Amino acid sequence: MNILRVGSLGVVRWVRWLLFEVLPLPMRTTGCHVAAVACRVAGCGVSFGVLSVELQASARSHGEELVLLWAASALTALLIGNIAREMMFEACTSVATLLGRPFLRDGVTLTGRTFLEIHYPTMTWVRCECGADGFSYEWTETTGRCNRVEVQFRANCGRNAEETPEVRVITAPRMNSSGSPPTCADPGSCE
């Protein structure tokens, strides 16, 4: 029964990711959201183009070979479409930050967590992911330092509801004047 539950949860997460990340569903009409829809449309176009070319080759196949060919074609088209979409997002981010504007991107990860990501003209960024199991918040500083805060909710809240969630703070070391991370003999001696 547990396998069925995990499998159905995986299918629901995949469909949700497909609806919000792959298909161009406009949520708002700001400039960033219009650019995000354009990136998703480009990704869908590439996916459908690749799929149509791959499926034309399956005209001479039959039976199990045809099913395997269609499955491989769909996965390949989705992969190439995702790469095209991510390249479009990177191009839009670069153009927006060069124009001195922040670029906002939101969506859903494959694990079912929603995310919001903002890239600033100062070449810094902020990303927040939220899910039922907790949330994480990442950001960079102008010095190049990357920081991450993770809050994981405990699975057994029924009996031990007074327990606080697990919080982890991860910070990359600051770069020294030569551009490399500092070396420390004692872990407590680093900033």
Listing DSSP states for 84-122 in one string gives HHHHHHHHHHHHHHHTT--EEEEEE-TTS-EEEEEE-TT
Question: Mean pLDDT across the stretch 74-95?
Answer: 90
Burial of 81 from C-beta contacts in 10 A (0-12 / 13-18 / 19+): buried
**pLDDT single digits (tens) 85-103:** 889 989 988 988 888 888 8
- Is 105 within 8 Å of 97 (Cβ atoms)? no
| pLDDT > 90 fraction of the chain, expressed in percent and rounded | 10
Exposure string for 82-101, b = 16+ CB within 10 A, e = fewer: eebbeebbeebbeebbeeee
**pLDDT single digits (tens) 133-190:** 888 899 998 888 888 888 887 665 555 555 566 677 776 665 555 555 444 333 333 3
CA separation for the pair 121, 178 (Å, rounded): 24
